[in-house]
Amino acid sequence: MINVAIIGAGIGREHLRAYRQLTEHFSVVSLCDIDLERAVEVLSAEGADPTVTRLSDDFAALLARDDIDLIDICLPPHLHLEASLSALRAKKHVICEKPLVSSLAEADRLIAACAENKRILTPVFQYRYGHAVAKLKALIAGGYAGKPLIGSIETHWRRDADYYANPWRGTWKGEQGGAVLGHAIHNHDLLCAILGPIRKVAAFTDTRVNEIEVEDCAAISFQMENGALATSSITLGAADDRSRFRFCFEKLTAESDLHPYAPATGSWTFTARGTAQDQQAIDAFLQTVPAPAQGFVGFLGALADRLAGGGQDAVTIEDGRRSLELVSAIYESSRTSKFVTLPLNDECSLYHSWLPNEGR
C-alpha cells in the first residue's frame, strides 16, 4: 500500500477521486492546504473517511512523517520546484501537477535530486490514458496506420476575467507562462505520445483576449523526428471549451471528438484511406483492443505498477523535461522569429528561464 499526502485541495480534489478508485494501491492519509476550510469542504464533498485522511496546513510536518510514501503536489506553478525538492530530500516519491517547473535548469535539478535520493518524480500527464489513444497506438503498432504524415491540434478554450481574478493567474511570476504552458501542455504531450519526438519548432504567440501579462493565443508548427509535420492552434478566446486532434497516416486518418479535458477518453473515428475491406479490417481489429483505465485513474495505476517494480506506461520525469523543452523552444521561436531545433541543452538562451526580464 502506498500512503499519499495531497498538497493543495484545488486540483487535488480530482486526484483524491482517482485515488479512491485505486484503494488496492493507494491510501490518502492526509490532505494539506493553507485554507483548511477548503480542505474540509473537499473531504466532505468527496465522502473521504476523516479517520484515514487527516487535514493539515503544515507541509513540513507531513514531510517528517514516516508513514507517508508519496507527496502529490497540487500547488500553483511557482511553488513546484521547492516543494518537489523538499519532498525528494525527505525520501518521498513525488507527483507534481503541470507545469512541472519553470525552466530546463530547474527540471535538471529535479532529475539530479531524484537520482541522489533514489526516488521517483512523476509529472501529471493524464491525457495520455484512455481507450481512444490506446486504440490508435494499437493500430500504429499493428501496422494498420503506416507512415505518419501530418497532425493538427486545436486547444480552443474560454477564459474570462473571472478566471484571472485569482492574483497569481495571468502573471509570469504566478503562472510562469500562459496558454502554451498552462493549457496546451497536455495536448502537446499527447501529440508527442502519438507522433514521437519533435525536431524543429516555429511559433507565434500573442496576448489578444484578456488584460494579462502572459500569452493567451498561439499558432505553432512542428517538424517531428520521423518527418511528420504538425500544427497547434491555441486560444483562450473561444466561445466555449473544445479540443480537437486529427492525425493523417499513410493508411488511415484518426480524429478525436471535441472533449476539452480528457481527449483520450472520447469517441475517436479511425477511417481507412484504402478500400472497404481495409476499413473492415480496422474495425475488426479495434474490437480486440482492451479498454484501459482512463484519465487520472490510468495515470495513477501506471505509477503504482512502476513503484511495484513493473510496468512501462508511467509518465517519467524525463517526459516532464521534454514538455518544458518544447515550451522553451516555443517561447524562443516566438521571440526571435526563428526556427528552433531540439533537443535543447544548457547552451539554449532560455535554459535558465523563459520568463521575460520584467517577469523575473
Distance CA 357, CA 301 (A): 41
Q: Describe the strand order of the beta sheet including 93-96 as a list of residue ranges.
A: 54-56, 26-32, 2-7, 70-73, 93-96, 121-123
Average pLDDT over all residues of the chain:
94
Q: How many residues does the chain have?
A: 360
Q: What is the pLDDT of residues 96-118, one digit of tens each?
A: 999 899 899 999 999 999 999 99
- Mean pLDDT of the region 164-174: 91
Average pLDDT estimate for 168-197: 93
| Each residue's pLDDT tens digit, 202-229 | 999 999 999 999 999 999 999 999 999 9
End-to-end CA distance of the chain: 41
pLDDT, residue 359, reads 38
φ, ψ dihedrals at 27, nearest 5°: -130, 120
What lies within 8 Å, CB to CB, of 81 at 6+ separation is 101, 102, 106, 109, 110
**Global pTM?**
0.90
Using pLDDT thresholds of 50, 70 and 90, give the confidence band for residue 358: very low
Quick one: pLDDT at residue 45? 87
Cβ contact 341:134 at 8 Å: no
